[in-house]
Amino acid sequence: MENKQQPKITKFADIKDELIKKINGKITLLGLNEPVTLVDGFINQPISMELSGSFIIGGPTVPMIMIVGNNTGRVHFFALKAVWPDFDK
């Protein structure tokens, strides 16, 4: 029987506290000038190699986080790797 390696699953709840620390340490570098709140959960932004009117299911994605400015309500999306470059090491 073939031994397939299971894909690594990361649960948001398991890394949330560390992620908040990473964001707070990079507030200025990320271009933020107000306190922010981390939205619970990951966003997977799909990547497409073509523009068409069709809806595409599956394919490559960029794992992202979303934060909201506490004063302005602005929503900011950041690639997980931009906030935490050595996350999966």
Split at pLDDT 50, 70, 90, the class of 7 is confident
pLDDT for the residue numbered 1: 54
How many whole angstroms separate alpha carbon 43 and alpha carbon 71?
A: 23
At residue 60, the 3 state secondary structure works out as coil
Backbone phi, psi, residue 46, to 5°: -70, 150
What average pLDDT does range 28-47 have in this prediction?
A: 90
pLDDT digits (tens, 9 = 90+) for 39-85: 999 999 988 888 787 777 888 899 999 999 999 999 999 999 988 88
pLDDT for the residue numbered 55: 77
pLDDT for the residue numbered 77: 95
pLDDT for the residue numbered 3: 63
What does each C-alpha distance from 22 to 29, 62, 74, 84 come to in angstroms?
11, 19, 20, 7
